Amino acid sequence: MTSFKPTRRTLLKTGTAAAALATFGPGILRHASAQDADLAPYKSAQIDWQQVSGETITVAVIPASYFENLITLAPQFKALTGIDVRFEKIPPAQIRQKSVIDLTSKTGTYATHAADPMYYALYAANKWVEPLDTYLNDKSLTDQAWFKLDDIIPAWRSANGIDGKLYGMPYDGEVTIQVYRKDLYDAKGLKPADTLEAYMSNAAALNTPNDRVWGAALRGVAGAGQNMYIYPSIFREFGGDWMKGGKLTVNGPEAEAALAWYVDIMKKYAPTAAANWNWPDIADAFSQGTVASYIDAHSSASVINNPEKSKVIGKVAYARWPKGPSGKRTTSIWNWGFPINSALPEKKRKATWLFIQWAASAETQARTAHRFAGPTKRSGVNRTSVWKDPDYIKLMNGFGENFVEAAMGALQDDTDVDWRPRVPQWPAIGDTMATAIQSALSGQATIKAALDDAQRRIEPMMRG
Partner 1 sequence: MATTVVTSADIASEAPRSDFGRVLAQRERRFAAALLAPAFLALLATTTFPLLFLIYTSAFRTDLAMPFTNGFVGFENYQVLLSDERFWTSLLVSLVYTGSTVALQVIIGLALALLVMDMKRGQGWFRVIAILPVVLSPAVVGMIWRTFMLAPEFGIVDFLAINAGLGSKNWLGDPTLAMVSVIAIHTWQWTPFAFMVLLASLASLPEDIYEAARLDRASAWQRFRRITLPLLRPAIVMVIIMRTMVALTAFAAIFTVTAGGPGTATEILNLYAYRKSFTELSIGYGSALAVALLIVTIIISGILFAMRRAR
Interface residues toward partner 1, by CB under 8 A: 1-2, 97, 100, 104, 122, 125-126, 209, 212, 220-224, 271-273, 275-276, 424-428, 431-432, 435-436, 438-445, 450, 457, 461, 464
Write a three-state SS string for 392-407. Answer: HHHHHHCCCECHHHHH
Q: Provide, rounded to whole angstroms, the least separation between the CB of residue 126 and partner 1.
A: 6
Of the two residues 51 and 276, which places its CB atom closer to partner 1 in the complex?
Answer: 276
Of the two residues 191 and 212, which places its CB atom closer to partner 1 in the complex?
Answer: 212
Of the two residues 360 and 423, which places its CB atom closer to partner 1 in the complex?
Answer: 423
Of the two residues 201 and 272, which places its CB atom closer to partner 1 in the complex?
Answer: 272
Q: Distance of alpha carbon 411 from its chain centroid, rounded?
A: 12
Of the two residues 40 and 210, which places its CB atom closer to partner 1 in the complex?
Answer: 210
Q: How far is Cα 96 from Cα 114, in angstroms, rounded to an integer? A: 9
Q: Provide, rounded to whole angstroms, the least separation between the CB of residue 32 and partner 1.
A: 37
Q: Tell me the C-alpha to C-alpha distance, in Å, between residue 429 and each of 108, 171, 457.
A: 27, 26, 9
Q: How far is Cα 6 from Cα 95, in angstroms, rounded to an integer? A: 13
In contact, 217 and 286? CB cutoff 8 Å:
yes
Q: Provide, rounded to whole angstroms, the least separation between the CB of residue 297 and partner 1.
A: 21
Of the two residues 161 and 427, which places its CB atom closer to partner 1 in the complex?
Answer: 427
Of the two residues 52 and 285, which places its CB atom closer to partner 1 in the complex?
Answer: 285
Which residue in 18, 11, 61, 63 sits closest to 280, CA to CA?
A: 11
Q: How far is Cα 459 from Cα 164, in angstroms, rounded to an integer? A: 26
Of the two residues 63 and 220, which places its CB atom closer to partner 1 in the complex?
Answer: 220
Q: Provide, rounded to whole angstroms, the least separation between the CB of residue 47 and partner 1.
A: 35
Q: Provide, rounded to whole angstroms, the least separation between the CB of residue 423 and partner 1.
A: 9
Of the two residues 390 and 464, which places its CB atom closer to partner 1 in the complex?
Answer: 464
Q: Provide, rounded to whole angstroms, the least separation between the CB of residue 213 and partner 1.
A: 12
Q: Provide, rounded to whole angstroms, the least separation between the CB of residue 120 and partner 1.
A: 13
Of the two residues 114 and 441, which places its CB atom closer to partner 1 in the complex?
Answer: 441
Q: How far is Cα 92 from Cα 336, in angstroms, rounded to an integer? A: 11
Of the two residues 161 and 220, which places its CB atom closer to partner 1 in the complex?
Answer: 220
Q: Provide, rounded to whole angstroms, the least separation between the CB of residue 437 and partner 1.
A: 9
Of the two residues 123 and 199, which places its CB atom closer to partner 1 in the complex?
Answer: 123
Q: Provide, rounded to whole angstroms, the least separation between the CB of residue 442 and partner 1.
A: 3
Q: Provide, rounded to whole angstroms, the least separation between the CB of residue 464 and partner 1.
A: 5
Please give the span between the terminal C-alpha atoms of the chain, in angstroms, as a whole number.
Answer: 22
Q: Provide, rounded to whole angstroms, the least separation between the CB of residue 294 and partner 1.
A: 16
Q: Provide, rounded to whole angstroms, the least separation between the CB of residue 414 and partner 1.
A: 29
